[in-house]
Chains A and B, each alone.
Chain A
Amino acid sequence: MAEELTSLDEGRKTRSYLLSISLIALLLVFFLVDLFTGPVSIPMQHVFALIFKPDNNPGIWHSILFDFRLPKAITAVMAGSSLAVSGLQMQTVFRNPLAGPDVLGISSGASLGVALVILGFGSYFEFNSSASLSSWMQIIAAWIGSGIVLFLVLFISLRIRDIMTILILGILFGSAASAVVSILQYFSNQSMLKAFVVWSMGNLGNLTGSQLQVLCLSLLIGFILTLFSMRVLNVLLLGENYSRSMGVNIRFTRFLVFASTSILSGSITAFCGPLAFVGIVVPHLARMIFRTADHRWLIPACFVLGALLMLLADLISQFPGSQSVLPINSVTAILGIPVVIWVIVSNRRLVNIS
């Protein structure tokens, strides 16, 4: 009997390792495909030359590949993985299968920051607002916006015990930020509105080298924080009373998780605009595929699956052809909504989180 039981354990472990390897392989494949898909078509014979002997082929293809495609693919990987990991953490801390990284209003805060730049001050400094300052100012404004919401949420999480109260307050902060954005939109003219709407549709392709470096650095910080909360998240699944009884500092854990989520999700929103659904959907996919509740498996799984999903979304968004590109937010929504519906429908089984 004992041998039977251990072999069951072994069987599951082997399965998990095999799955991981195949997913990582899939990720590499998608990454390469994404590199070579875009508005400008790169002929096949150049593809291999470019991968294996990049320096021998300067010129347009080289430039397109390294200046446009590579940053975009890297951004997709970073965005998908960060949002998925922060979504997983939110779902565990709030014990809610529909929680996502923007449940605390971080995305809305970032949107407010950007709205103030594009719609608010933009109207007074229109001559200045278009070229020079635009990208960094937007990014910093988004960061500040999400940072303020984070600060508020951390502040209340230190004083309020009940996690549901924190959730509701977070949602309210988000709504408040959105309301202010609506007011700004109401008073803007056509071109500013269009600019803001375009921003809120998300964009993976706008990052340049230095921006990408800053993004990766901040994401690294976020991921390191996540590593430290991995095993606590496991225990948190049992509920806060049990966690406390086993020595978990609930307030500190929440603090850590909120900080990590804000850095991960806030950075992505600042650089790429608000990206929806990935954070909610991927954790469920990870649980479905790996059939475990252990965050030491789930967090890396979400990392890889999130990156995969985002690359897939990016590929789909190029679908209409060389002239037009679908906004990335719409694609993630189309991919994500069926999964969300499935989660809700099967929620009769899932009382808490899976």
Chain B
Amino acid sequence: MIGSEKPMLRLEDLQIGYYRSGRRNEGRIYSPLNLEAAGPEMIGIIGRNGIGKSTLLRTLAGIQPPLQGKVFIRGSDSRKTARSELARLISFVSTESVRVQNLRVMELVSMGRFPYTNWLGKLTGDDMRIIQDAIEHTGIQHLRHKPVHKLSDGERQKVMIARALAQDTPVIILDEPTAFLDLPARHEILRILSNLTRQRSKLIVFSTHDLAIAMDEVDKLWLMTDEGLLEGAPEDLLINHGFAKLFGNSDMEFDTGNMAFRFSRDVSRNISVHGDDPLRIYTCKAMERIGYRTIRDQDTDYIIHINMAGNSPQWVVTGKEGQITFPSIYALTTHFIKTNRI
């Protein structure tokens, strides 16, 4: 491979932002960045809204000029490289929806070959092969002739990725590729991207709000916080309590037990729950939601026992007033909410 010692992507003192009528450093929106991605991997960028994820991605993709600093792609300084050359190194997928009539999926994907075709836009056999390959890799063969404006969100996202794939670049940048998608579609997209990293040695950099994906699927995270950018594998960031800084001063906390973020809750009372998993886990979760800490100790005002009455579960609450039986978790929690109000 060409330039195997050079990192695929390197940011040197990169300052992103918007020019304000000629005065530099005035429109800067983030601190200078010095980052590197050595080889093919999946990098996720997360951060709160407005911190500059999209700006960073657009600056990386060469669509927006940096205020200062440099972006090196495979050793080439993006500002010193010709546009057409840069287009062969880095491609971009955004959240912009393309609404054009009379344009079919096949034609849209073919546009990815733009940096390689002549003035007439003629597609060679090689071009066709690459396009076909891109279509197959994203699993949209059945959509080839569908008009673009009739695609569903998930389909459209795959088509845009196919286009970026047809552009045949070592680096692909995506801005919120899983936004607006339902869960299965999200995972499908991630699977496609992950394959690109593993099988095609591409560097994928994308931004997301979906923390589950961020935790599960990426090799490295770039966490943009108000105090600077934190870098590392998701688990590294857990160890460093990086996530706590993610949301600044808010009531979010990372539940290491459940490996998820949630709002911190006022926990005022204790309750113990007895029963078999997974019913016990579900019940604990529900009780925590309404503000109870679940412990195993028996020494609480109320105790919940989960029994099986035939095929359906029952929840039996033992307390000062005696025993009450509930047929569902909903009934159980509603009861506690009511009694706590009094």
Are B83 and A241 in contact (CB-based, < 8 A)?
Answer: no
B115 CB contacts on chain A under 8 angstroms: 246-247
Task: For A351, give its contact among B86, B99, B117, B141 (CB under 8 Å).
Answer: B99
Are A293 and B101 in contact (CB-based, < 8 A)?
Answer: yes
Task: Let me know if B16 is at the binding interface, CB within 8 A.
Answer: no
Whether A231 touches B120, Cβ cut-off 8 Å, given contacts A241-B58, A247-B84, A247-B115, is: yes
Task: For B98, give its contact among A227, A239, A246 (CB under 8 Å).
Answer: A239
Are A291 and B102 in contact (CB-based, < 8 A)?
Answer: yes
Are B111 and A246 in contact (CB-based, < 8 A)?
Answer: yes
Task: Let me know if B87 is at the binding interface, CB within 8 A.
Answer: yes
Are B92 and A292 in contact (CB-based, < 8 A)?
Answer: no
B95-134 CB contacts (< 8 Å) to partner A? 96, 98-103, 106-108, 111-112, 114-115, 117, 119-121
Are A245 and B61 in contact (CB-based, < 8 A)?
Answer: yes
Task: Let me know if A330 is at the binding interface, CB within 8 A.
Answer: no
Are B121 and A247 in contact (CB-based, < 8 A)?
Answer: no
Whether A292 touches B102, Cβ cut-off 8 Å, given contacts A235-B114, A244-B62, is: yes
A242-262 CB contacts (< 8 Å) to partner B? 242, 244-249
Are A293 and B145 in contact (CB-based, < 8 A)?
Answer: no
Whether A242 touches B96, Cβ cut-off 8 Å, given contacts A9-B145, A248-B114, is: yes
Task: Let me know if B91 is at the binding interface, CB within 8 A.
Answer: yes
Please report the total number of B residues contacting A with Cβ < 8 Å.
Answer: 37
Are B87 and A247 in contact (CB-based, < 8 A)?
Answer: yes
Whether A245 touches B100, Cβ cut-off 8 Å, given contacts A5-B145, A294-B107, is: no
Are B61 and A293 in contact (CB-based, < 8 A)?
Answer: no
Task: For B112, give its contact among A5, A231, A246 (CB under 8 Å).
Answer: A246
Are A293 and B86 in contact (CB-based, < 8 A)?
Answer: no
Whether A296 touches B144, Cβ cut-off 8 Å, given contacts A238-B100, A238-B111, A239-B98, is: no
A37 CB contacts on chain B under 8 angstroms: none
B119 CB contacts on chain A under 8 angstroms: 227-228, 230-231
Whether A241 touches B101, Cβ cut-off 8 Å, given contacts A9-B145, A235-B111, A247-B115, is: no
A349 CB contacts on chain B under 8 angstroms: 101
B90 CB contacts on chain A under 8 angstroms: 245
Task: For B102, give its contact among A244, A249, A354 (CB under 8 Å).
Answer: A354
A262 to chain B, nearest CB (A): 22
Contact pattern, A 209-252, Cβ under 8 Å of B = 1, otherwise 0: 00000000000000000011011001101110110111111000
A interface, size bucket: 20 to 34
Task: Let me know if A29 is at the binding interface, CB within 8 A.
Answer: no
B58 to chain A, nearest CB (A): 7
Task: Let me know if B63 is at the binding interface, CB within 8 A.
Answer: yes
B139-174 CB contacts (< 8 Å) to partner A? 141-142, 144-145, 167
B151 to chain A, nearest CB (A): 14
A239 CB contacts on chain B under 8 angstroms: 96, 98
B333 CB contacts on chain A under 8 angstroms: none
A contact patch SS: loop
Task: Let me know if B94 is at the binding interface, CB within 8 A.
Answer: yes
Are B101 and A296 in contact (CB-based, < 8 A)?
Answer: no
Cα A89 to Cα B252 in complex, Å, equals 51
Whether A247 touches B86, Cβ cut-off 8 Å, given contacts A230-B121, A231-B121, A234-B121, is: yes
Task: Let me know if A8 is at the binding interface, CB within 8 A.
Answer: yes
Are A287 and B101 in contact (CB-based, < 8 A)?
Answer: yes
Cα A241 to Cα B145 in complex, Å, equals 25
Task: For A247, give its contact among B58, B94, B108, B114 (CB under 8 Å).
Answer: B114
Closest A-chain residue to B92, C-beta based?
A: A245
Listed residue (A228, A242, A292, A350) with the most chain B CB atoms within 10 angstroms of its CB = A242
A251 to chain B, nearest CB (A): 11
A123 CB contacts on chain B under 8 angstroms: none
Task: Let me know if A178 is at the binding interface, CB within 8 A.
Answer: no
Are A237 and B114 in contact (CB-based, < 8 A)?
Answer: no
Cα A291 to Cα B61 in complex, Å, equals 33
Task: Let me know if A352 is at the binding interface, CB within 8 A.
Answer: yes
B106 CB contacts on chain A under 8 angstroms: 9
B52-90 CB contacts (< 8 Å) to partner A? 58, 61-63, 83-88, 90
Closest A-chain residue to B121, C-beta based?
A: A231
Please report A residues at the B interface, Cβ cutoff 8 Å. 1, 5, 8-9, 227-228, 230-231, 234-235, 237-239, 241-242, 244-249, 287, 291-294, 296, 349-354
Give me 28 A-to-B residue pairs in the complex whose CB atoms sit less than 8 angstroms apart, sorted by A's number.
Answer: A5-B145, A8-B145, A9-B106, A230-B119, A230-B121, A231-B117, A234-B121, A235-B114, A237-B100, A239-B98, A242-B98, A244-B63, A244-B83, A245-B61, A245-B63, A245-B90, A246-B91, A246-B167, A247-B85, A247-B86, A287-B101, A287-B102, A293-B100, A293-B101, A293-B103, A350-B101, A352-B100, A354-B102
Please report B residues at the A interface, Cβ cutoff 8 Å. 58, 61-63, 83-88, 90-92, 94, 96, 98-103, 106-108, 111-112, 114-115, 117, 119-121, 141-142, 144-145, 167
Query: What are the 5 tightest A-B residue pairs by CB atom distance, in nearest-first order?
Result: A247-B87, A354-B101, A231-B121, A245-B92, A247-B84
